[in-house]
Amino acid sequence: METQKKALNIRRFLLNFGKLVTDFTKLVFGSLVLGSVIKGEIPPYMLLTGGIIASAIGAVIGITIVTLCEEK
């Protein structure tokens, strides 16, 4: 019984962590990608490329964690 409770707690933690990563990805996209279009201080291609790569990686990691740990 104790093992099942631990497994459930770990699963809940990973589910919430996946959601956190997904939310962080949204913030990265908003600040880097959209910020580069508006501000233009750092070369836009660097911000745009970095923002898109970070967003893609974060989205894949977050969605994967949430999908694997989603409660049934």
* pLDDT tens, the chain, 72 aa long: 678 888 877 888 888 888 888 888 888 777 776 776 676 667 777 777 887 888 888 888 888 888 777 765
Range of the domain at 33: 2-69
Residues 6 or more apart in contact with residue 58 via CB below 8 angstroms: 21, 22, 24, 25, 28
Tally of domains in the chain: 1
Neighbours of 39 (CB within 10 A): 10
